[in-house]
Amino acid sequence: MSETTYVKAINGALADAMRADARVIVIGEDVAEGGPYTTTAGLADEFGTGRVLNTPISESAIAGVAIGAAQSGLRPVLEIMFIDFITLALDQIVNQSAKAHFMSGGQLTVPMVLRTQGGGGQRGGAQHSQSLEAWLTHIPVVKVVMPSRALDAAGLMAQRDRRPQPGRVHREQDALLQARGRARRAAGRADRPRADGAAGARRDDRGACRGWSARRSSPPSAWPRRASRPR
């Protein structure tokens, strides 16, 4: 089986999702032109700018539009270009996306995916090199995935649509975007994409850890009942 790069695996998974479901849209800065890492390259050519929407440089607005679109029946994939700027969208993610289902008594769902990338070692500067995903793992209901290889990147993106989820963060490592690997499991091989809800470490022949994939555990199936007051 031919190999591809991590970034092309994500691009292919996005295209497959958009072909399979007309409700899937992509929103973010420069996404119609492919973005700074070509993750969304070619999507506007195939699906049009009505489904691949460029936005102003406003992370709060990007997240807000995506949340509203998701509540209205679409399945947006929004891109925050660098995880450093997730700080500008935290109110939307924490207080709107993550809580809409609970606060509406189950009437609203927010089936969206937030894509972002980050990490140091690429000379991106102090405001383009952080790893802030740990903040997001502390938000109830929000799920964070961190694929370390092309197979997991494509597989986890493909799993995003199996059930409505009130906010899922697909955090990519900029140092891995051009790393090569298989995007689909070869026939007869035991090697499989990382399952949703599982974590693992990838090691080279010398035993050195080359990457890891993780996702926080699923939220409780039901919110705990309010404790009754003692009489």
Q: For residue 101, is it within any domain? A: yes
Q: For residue 219, is it within any domain? A: no
Number of H helices, E strands in the chain: 7, 10
Is 128 among the residues known to form the active site?
Answer: yes
Q: For residue 218, is it within any domain? A: no
Mean pLDDT of the 5-17 span: 91
Helix (H, G, I), strand (E, B) or coil at 55: coil
Q: Which of 55-69, 144-158, 197-211 has the lowest mean pLDDT?
A: 197-211
Residues 6+ apart with CB under 8 A from 170: 113, 114, 115, 116, 145, 147, 156, 157, 160
pTM: 0.77
pLDDT > 70? residue 165: no
Span 13-22, pLDDT tens digits: 999 999 999 9
Residues 83 and 117 sit within 8 Å (Cβ to Cβ): yes
Q: For residue 124, is it within any domain? A: yes
**Measured on CA atoms in the order 121, 183, 171, 70, is the torsion positive or negative?**
positive
Residues 6+ apart with CB under 8 A from 165: 110, 111, 112, 143
pLDDT > 50? residue 186: no
**Model pLDDT, residue 31:** 97
Q: For residue 225, is it within any domain? A: no
CATH number of the domain to which 108 belongs: 3.40.50.970
Domain total in the chain:
1
Q: For residue 227, is it within any domain? A: no
Q: In the numeric block, which tokens belong to residue 123?
A: 């000379």
pLDDT > 60? residue 35: yes
pLDDT > 90? residue 198: no
Q: Which domain holds residue 121?
A: 4-213
**Model pLDDT, residue 87:** 93
The Cα-based distances of 83 to 11, 12, 127, 154, 159 in angstroms read 19, 22, 9, 20, 22
Please, which pLDDT band fits residue 182 given cuts at 50, 70 and 90?
low
